[in-house]
Amino acid sequence: MLPPAAALTMLVACGESSPDTLTETEQSAESTIADGDARVSTSTPDQGPANRNSGGETDFDKDMAYYFSQGERGATLSFGVPQTDNIALNLRCPLGAGGKSVLVYFTRPGRIVAKRPATIDLRAGEAEQQLPIETRETQLGTTVEVETAVSTPVMQQYRTGQPLDVFYGEEKVTIPSRSSDREIQQFFNACAA
């Protein structure tokens, strides 16, 4: 099993690290992945062990959870299976953005990304936003990222309890938002700080 610090770092850092910006703990997590630790979960091409219904929606099992961290690159909120590389979605407020910018990102195999559109649709409640993607290669696949503002109706609806829907081609990932998810409020409070 991964050491707790490496597992948590991997949860936060999944898909956003480059070799020249890795911390010592992230290097340990990356090394564990590279060494082929069989206990690190493996992902299916699109989303990991989550089940898909006939409409293409992801039905996350009860093992998914939020993880909030305040790191060198800013506040990060991840939703996935703790202590694995199965991360459905990450949100990060970059340092120096003055609480105005949110990066929304996830990782997919390059062969999947090559077949998908160059945009992502974000929806929460009645709010909707289409954004152009940026991609970069990582050890875990291709990171797909969009940038939006904390103040957009989509982010505000998500903050106040509406699920966040992410549409990427035919794929739809829904991330829940409940009043009991204190990590969501911690994330938005840290973005505003």
Burial 96-128 (b: 16+ CB within 10 A, else e): ebebebbbbbbbbeeebbeebeeebbbbbbeee
Token pair 């989303």 is at which residue?
47
Q: What is the distance of C-alpha 7 from the center of its chain? A: 15
Give me 103's structure tokens. Answer: 């990066």
Instruction: Give the three-class secondary structure for 73.
Output: coil
Helices (H), the chain: 4-13, 24-34, 110-113, 153-159, 182-192
Q: Report the pLDDT value the prediction gives residue 1, as an integer from 0 to 100.
A: 39
Domains of the chain by residue range: 4-192
What value does the CA radius of gyration of the chain take, rounded to a whole number of Å? 16
Q: Which residues of the chain have pLDDT under 50?
A: 1-54, 56-59
* pLDDT in the model for residue 28: 32
pLDDT digits (tens, 9 = 90+) for 60-79: 556 889 999 998 889 999 99
How many C-beta atoms lie closer than 10 Å to residue 166's C-beta?
21
pLDDT for position 62: 64
Strand partners, 172: 57, 167
Among residues 105, 35, 108, the alpha carbon closest in space to that of 73 is found at 105
Residue 134 contacts residue 180 (beta carbons within 8 Å): no
27 contacts: CB under 8 Å, gap ≥ 6: none
Residues 6+ apart with CB under 8 A from 113: 135, 141, 142, 144
